Copies of this chain bind each other. A is one copy, B any other.
Amino acid sequence: MNYSSELIKGTLKTIVLKLLANNKRMYGYEITQTVKELTNDKILITEGALYPTLHALESDGLVTTETEFIGKRVRKYYRLSPEGKAKTKEKVNELTDFMNTMKFLLDIKPI
């Protein structure tokens, strides 16, 4: 079982930022595989969703990039900027708070 896609909406950017906060630098494909492994295939990030997100983070100045060649194949590393680190804390705190609120809502019992 993996989650219906609408749940991922709105959390993808936070997931990516958090991974970058833990790993100093990562490249796109590595992010998809890491999330897949960490969640036992429950969260599968598609490339069509990931790359535009990474490009948006870059144009917002939240990450910097380094392109390297592995043999003849290009690999683009992403790394948090100082603003990105601050943004990560914000987003993680917001999501944590949101989940607590949702947990409360879902736990309410009928009278």
Contacts and interface: CB of A to CB of B under 8 A. Distances in A.
Interface string A1-24: 001101111110011001001110
State which size class the interface on A falls in.
35 or more
A9 B12 CA distance: 12
Nearest to A5: B10
Instruction: From A9, A38, A39, A105, name the one whose CB has the most chain B CB atoms within 10 angstroms.
Output: A105
Assembly stoichiometry (copies): 2
Contact of A109 (B22, B43, B98, B102): B22
Interface in A78-100: 92, 94-99
29 contacts: A3-B94, A3-B98, A3-B101, A4-B10, A4-B94, A6-B10, A7-B10, A7-B11, A7-B94, A8-B10, A9-B10, A15-B102, A15-B105, A18-B106, A22-B108, A22-B110, A22-B111, A23-B110, A35-B105, A38-B104, A38-B108, A39-B101, A39-B104, A42-B101, A43-B105, A92-B106, A95-B106, A99-B102, A99-B103
